[in-house]
Amino acid sequence: MTETQTATASEVNRVSVIGAGTMGAQIAMVAALAGFSTDLIDIQDQQLEQARTGLAKRLDRDVQKGRRSQDEVDTAWARLNLTTDRDAAAKQSDFVIEAAVEDLGIKKSLFSELDELCPPHTILATNSSNIVSSRIAEATNRPEKVCNMHFFNPALVMKCVEVVPNPQTSAETVATTTALAEAMGKDPVQLHKEVPGFVANRLLNALRKEALDLYNKGIVDFQDIDTAAKTALGHPMGPFELMDLVGIDVVYLIRLAEYEQTGDPASLPDPAVKELYEAGRYGRKSGHGWYSYE
Ligand code: CAA
């Protein structure tokens, strides 16, 4: 491999996932289950421990239910390295998936550092659902190897992965990212161009906006909106249940990031979501959101 080449799918052996939150932890396990040596990186040991416990619970249940064999799970654990040593992991990585906080400044400095640390062939992808990669790629000297690779929550289950090139992303990077998603057992959706929110979240936002509007106007209880989405539309979850699954903090910060990009006041977080966010009611992960989980 020469210095300017991009890793092809068959050359991706080691995957790094940055950020051991809800998404990062499951994405890393998806990679490990698919046979990749995987580093799950976080700045906090405590976050890594939480990720380990959460994944163990999930996978034990999968084994109990006969969805995976104990052998498959043990092999995946052996491939997964949970670490705070980002620099050592980055130096060995063929493909990075960043799943850190939705903050442009943090992502830019992270990508700039990864650009210095990673081998030249390494693709730097972001799982960001709203920050388009052209805004991050400019912090690197390899914009052609930067793109969005967007998973859905829960990443162990949801099949969709959106692959979104920025104007400088090369065809090789798109091909490798798409092939990697397929190797992970996912059904990639390839966008031709960047657009904030991509495809699935734009569809979801339209539904959520209408749901919040009905609720804020006092027309109907949020529980009944969820019921209608499930019983009339056949959705597996209603929009309020889904906000609790994704995380109220994530929903709130995504809207703020969108507002920063568009400057459109219509993009600002909904007041009811803001209220929950400010009360620390982040949804399932904090025990309370729209619903209570205790
Ligand atoms: N993590 C991993 N696996 C999970 C899970 C989780 N958080 N929640 C559920 N599952 C799996 C489990 O295997 C579970 O089976 P067991 O309970 O027997 O272990 C199985 O799914 C079924 O779960 P449930 O019986 O609790 O409920 P369900 O049949 O409704 O399925 C679901 C759960 C798969 C989450 C389903 O409700 C669903 O598809 N919901 C919609 C999810 C969705 O729309 N996600 C996209 C969110 S938007 C996003 O992610 C974008 C972004 O940018 C933030």
Q: pLDDT (tens digit, 9 = 90+) per residue, 25-74?
A: 999 999 999 999 999 999 999 999 999 999 999 999 999 999 999 999 99
At residue 5, the pLDDT reads 87
Asked which of 154, 171, 190 is the last residue of a domain, the reply is 190
Backbone angles phi, psi at 185, to 5 degrees: 80, 15
| 153 labelled binding-site residue | yes
Tokens in use for 3? 């210095």
pLDDT surpassing 70 at residue 288: yes
Q: Full-prediction pTM beyond 0.80?
A: yes
Structural contact between residues 140 and 124, judged by C-beta atoms closer than 8 angstroms: yes
Cα 247 from Cα 149, distance rounded (Å): 20
Which residues have C-beta within 8 Å of that of residue 192, sequence separation ≥ 6?
Answer: 165
Which residues span the domain enclosing 171?
9-190
| Percentage with pLDDT > 70 across the chain | 99
| 224 labelled binding-site residue | no
Indicate which CATH number applies to the domain containing 52. 3.40.50.720
Q: Which of 245, 254, 282 for a ligand 1 pocket mutation test, highest count of atoms within 8 Å of Cβ?
A: 245
- State in Å: Cα 156 to ligand 1 middle: 9
> In which band, very low, low, confident or very high, does the pLDDT at 261 lie, cut at 50, 70 and 90?
confident
Asked which of 137, 155, 190 is the last residue of a domain, the reply is 190
Active site residues: 129, 150, 162, 201
162 DSSP assignment: E
Mark whether 151 and 277 lie in a shared domain: no
Cα 205 from Cα 198, distance rounded (Å): 11
At residue 151, the pLDDT reads 98
pLDDT surpassing 70 at residue 1: no
Mark whether 31 and 165 lie in a shared domain: yes
225 or 9, greater pLDDT: 225
Mark whether 135 and 217 lie in a shared domain: no
Location of structure tokens 């909904």: 270
Q: Which of 157, 187, 204, 246 for a ligand 1 pocket mutation test, highest count of atoms within 8 Å of Cβ?
A: 157
> In which band, very low, low, confident or very high, does the pLDDT at 3 lie, cut at 50, 70 and 90?
very low
| Percentage with pLDDT > 90 across the chain | 88
Mark whether 158 and 237 lie in a shared domain: no
Instruction: Please give all residues whose beta carbon lies within 6 A of any atom in ligand 1, as ranges.
Output: 58, 61, 65, 129, 152-154, 156-158, 201, 204, 236-237, 242, 246, 250
Stretch 123-145: mean pLDDT, rounded?
A: 96
At residue 4, the pLDDT reads 65
- What CA–CA distances, in Å, run from 146 to 103, 161, 209, 291? 17, 16, 31, 38
Q: Does 13 fall in a domain? A: yes
What was the ipTM of the complex prediction? 0.93
**In the chain, count of helices (H) and strands (E)?**
12, 8
pLDDT surpassing 70 at residue 230: yes
At residue 146, the pLDDT reads 98
pLDDT surpassing 90 at residue 196: no
Q: Does 88 fall in a domain? A: yes
Stretch 108-118: mean pLDDT, rounded?
A: 98
Mark whether 36 and 174 lie in a shared domain: yes
Stretch 133-137: mean pLDDT, rounded?
A: 97
The mean of the pLDDT values for the chain is 95
Strand order in the sheet with 14-18: 80-83, 37-41, 14-18, 95-98, 123-126, 146-151, 160-165, 187-190
At residue 2, the pLDDT reads 44
Indicate which CATH number applies to the domain containing 233. 1.10.1040.10
pLDDT surpassing 50 at residue 89: yes
Which residues have C-beta within 8 Å of that of residue 157, sequence separation ≥ 6?
Answer: none
Number of domains in the chain: 2
145 DSSP assignment: G
Structural contact between residues 60 and 68, judged by C-beta atoms closer than 8 angstroms: no
